[in-house]
Amino acid sequence: MASGILVFLEQRNGAIRKASLEALSEARRQANGKEVTALIVGENVKALSAVANKCKPTKILVVDNAQFANYSTEGYAAALTTAIKTVDPQYVFAANTSMAKDLMPRVAARHDAACVTDVSEIHVAGDRLEVVHPMYSGKTRGIFELKSNVSFITTRPNIFAVQEAENGHHAEIVDLPVTADKIRAKVTAIHASEGQKIELSEASVIVAGGRGIKGPENWNILENLCGTLGAALGASRAVVDAGWIDHQHQVGQTGKVVSPQLYIACGISGAIQHLAGMSSSKVIVAINKDAEAPIFKHATYGIVGDVFEVVPKLTEELKKHSG
Amino acid sequence: MKIAVCIKAVPDTETKINLAGDKSNIDFTGVRFLTSPYDEFAIEEALRLKEKNGGETMVFSMGGAECTDVLRDALARGVDNATHLSDPSFTNLDPLSTAKVLAAAIKDGGYDVILLGQQGVGGDNSQVPAMLAELLDLPQVTVIMKLEITGNTFKAEREIEGAHETVEGTLPVVLSAQKGLNEPRYPGIKGVMAARRKEIAVKNAEALGLAGTIGTDKAPLKLKEMALPPERPQGRVLEGDVDTQVKTLVELLKKEAQVI
């Protein structure tokens, strides 16, 4: 009888994603006394079990060999499938990242199983979990029941809190031997994107710009504010389509859906498809010249004013406070 | 080269979303359906592959009457043939059931490349491409920004957090398109006229060998109900000159909102 939760922890370059620790922490909260097993896949990743241990899983499975140095759909699917066979979990959790969105549906199909991606809430309903998945870019949400023997869930980053214990917990660490016999699509290179240091979907603070910044030569005003706040830089569709900035920065429908603690919209009017991508942010600050801009209806705090005057002053004021 | 493209008819992204009375879905009254935006990149890439390598293109769409317009639009852009996967049991399907229907339609077609959008706008699942690849036992590259096909090999770049991955392999392959892959063309008047005269093939569950196997009652994933998100509390516009506004904002972010 399937029981407990298996959590796939994503690691790249020897670091476990924070969003994965969020998924693991949420699994612990939802496990209701059942076992929580963490899975780490890669090459030379054994040391990462110490990081996973802080979130207090019952067990940590480590798949460690050269075949898994880079992510591949089929290799990692083989590892996850072996882990599922070993643990027989009722649920498999992962953070909703590009890796999990590539991997989890594939493995779910292999098990003829229910899968819900980008989950923003999880509730216990009897002996099952019920999950909330935002739809239409957050304009509505679906409440889903997952009824397969094993079911798959990916959690939206920045929603679920990381819960770590400093010491006193010792998860059982198990080496899981896996050989992927068939990797037909291979990663042959990874190129870091220019500019963005902090991934938008995982950033706790986002500063975003729209038409109001007047041209691509003015991003530095927002970048200075980003630097002071440790924020990621976002953008509206209008400025991406105008070619002022790369698509990886786009927030909204056909871009990224984000849920940071703080979202500062600079010179963004607030088109419905932009609002859909950021309205689940905890606090929204709007800075816009036009007092009638729709963004003000959604903002926690609004400043009606010129981005070119307000943003540099805001950067200075924040520097005073952090210094 | 044989190329298949799977597209979805979705409500216009500018649609104001209301729920149906029984909360089982959104209210489709007066909603205009369009090709899911990411699928437009898939169609465009299929057309470019054919222009470069020769061959034929086929577009599939699963669903009700709303599929006809998006299939005609794909034909108008230059896709050769269209198949509508239509059956009463194909209504409101979850991603895995959708992938099963598409796999049944595609599996014996001898396709070299199968293209989809990386996400159907609305359902926002991003699941069907990877599920389809699994059901067809093919390699996959999802969320691609760049594609080169030389002979029977592919080289694709996919978008990941803060980087691009280059993925290589041998055809056939399932690919899902991200914005940025190309700049989709609009159908010309000639194409629109020609598309009107083309026949759209229709396949139901029986024709696909799926009679009695597909349906919301057969899937392990159930949509219990839909709900609108909680309303955001009324915010406030800060008063005073710019210096005062900025000082007040920083105070509020620190003390009231406690986010910095």
Distance from CA of A169 to the nearest CA of B (A): 31
Q: Which of B126, B180, B226 sits opposite A141 (nearest CB)?
A: B226
Q: Which of A73, A113, A317 sits opposite B247 (nearest CB)?
A: A317
Chain B residues touching A261 at Cβ < 8 A: 259
Q: Which of B220, B225, B253 sits opposite A114 (nearest CB)?
A: B220
Chain A residues touching B213 at Cβ < 8 A: none
Mean residue pLDDT of chain A comes to: 94
B235's tokens:
């915010």
| Beta-carbon separation of A189 and B141 below 8 A | no
| Beta-carbon separation of A98 and B158 below 8 A | yes
Phi, psi of B136 (to 5 degrees): -90, -5
Q: How many helices (H) and strands (E) does chain B have?
A: 6, 13
Question: Are the C-beta atoms of B154 and B170 separated by less than 8 Å?
Answer: yes
Tell the residue number behind the tokens 């190309």, with chain if given. B182
| Residues B86-121: b if buried by 16+ CB within 10 A, e if exposed | bbebbeebbbbbbbbbbbbbbbeeebbbbbbbbbbb
Question: Torsion angle, CA of A251/A252/A257/A259, rounded to 10 degrees?
Answer: 70
Residue of A nearest to B181 (CA): A247
Q: What is the ipTM of this complex?
A: 0.95
| Beta-carbon separation of B246 and A193 below 8 A | no
Mean residue pLDDT of chain B comes to: 96
Residue of A nearest to B173 (CA): A185
DSSP state, A249?
Answer: G
Calpha distance A291→A296 (Å, rounded): 8
Amino acid in the structure at residue A180: A
Parallel, antiparallel or unpaired: strands A128-135 and A121-125: antiparallel
Chain B residues touching A199 at Cβ < 8 A: 161-162
Which pLDDT band holds residue A276 (cuts at 50, 70, 90)? confident
Calpha distance B255→B257 (Å, rounded): 6
Q: Percentage of chain B with pLDDT > 70?
A: 100
Question: Torsion angle, CA of A237/A242/A248/A253, rounded to 10 degrees?
Answer: 20
* Model pLDDT for residues A77-125, shown as the tens digit of each residue: 999 999 999 999 999 999 999 999 999 999 999 999 999 999 999 999 9
Distance from CA of B15 to the nearest CA of A (A): 9
* Model pLDDT for residues A218-233, shown as the tens digit of each residue: 999 999 999 999 999 9
Question: Are the C-beta atoms of A306 and A287 separated by less than 8 Å?
Answer: no
Those residues whose C-beta lies under 8 Å from the C-beta of residue B101, and which sit 6 or more positions away, are B62, B85, B90, B93, B208, B210, B214
Q: Which domains does chain B have, with CATH numbers?
A: 2-203 (3.40.50.620), 230-260 (no CATH)
Amino acid in the structure at residue A287: I
| Beta-carbon separation of A298 and B232 below 8 A | yes
* Model pLDDT for residues B77-125, shown as the tens digit of each residue: 999 999 999 999 999 999 999 999 999 999 999 999 999 999 999 999 9
Distance from CA of A235 to the nearest CA of B (A): 15
Tell the residue number behind the tokens 């691509």, with chain if given. A216
Q: Which domains does chain A have, with CATH numbers?
A: 5-175 (3.40.50.620), 200-322 (3.40.50.1220)
